[in-house]
């Protein structure tokens, strides 16, 4: 079974602060996705990383995929209350299934 460990599990910060969420595995994934989920909604895809060492930026969000394609990080610069939510990483296998990390609940206080 491929497992993804996500840390931290909970994060509460003030508006304007920076933060990093980590997603680690002992397994190699063909790709890795980051999702954000708000209460009452399904997860919404933020980004997909495929190539080892890849860095993608989405406004104030920066995503990195480790060289060995086993780990990833999400960095948010100058967090805003609208960034509040559950952040999930998910590794995709060749069979097409996704394995999800435990999630990071982010609260950004105004």
Q: By the criterion CB under 8 A, which residues form the site for other proteins?
A: 6, 30-31, 33, 35, 40-45, 48, 88, 90, 92, 96-103, 105
Nearer to other proteins, 62 or 99 (CB): 99
Nearer to other proteins, 58 or 78 (CB): 58
Return d(Cα 4, Cα 73) in angstroms, integer.
12
CB of 13 to other proteins, least distance (A): 19
CB of 109 to other proteins, least distance (A): 19
Task: Tell which residue, 25, 4, 15, 22, has the closest CA to residue 104.
Answer: 22
CB of 30 to other proteins, least distance (A): 7
Nearer to other proteins, 28 or 78 (CB): 28
Nearer to other proteins, 16 or 52 (CB): 52
CB of 78 to other proteins, least distance (A): 27
Report angle CA 86, 89, 94 to the nearest 5 degrees.
150
């Amino acid at each position: 079974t491929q497992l993804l460990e996500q840390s931290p599990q909970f994060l509460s910060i003030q508006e304007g602060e920076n933060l990093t969420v980590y997603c680690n595995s002992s397994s190699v994934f063909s790709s890795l996705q980051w999702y954000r989920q708000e209460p009452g909604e399904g997860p919404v895809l933020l980004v997909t990383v495929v190539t080892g060492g890849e860095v993608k930026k989405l406004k104030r969000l920066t995503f990195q995929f480790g060289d060995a394609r086993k780990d990833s990080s999400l960095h948010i610069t100058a967090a805003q209350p609208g960034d509040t939510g559950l952040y999930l990483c998910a590794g995709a296998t060749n069979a097409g299934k996704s394995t999800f990390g435990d999630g990071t609940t982010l609260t950004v206080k105004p």
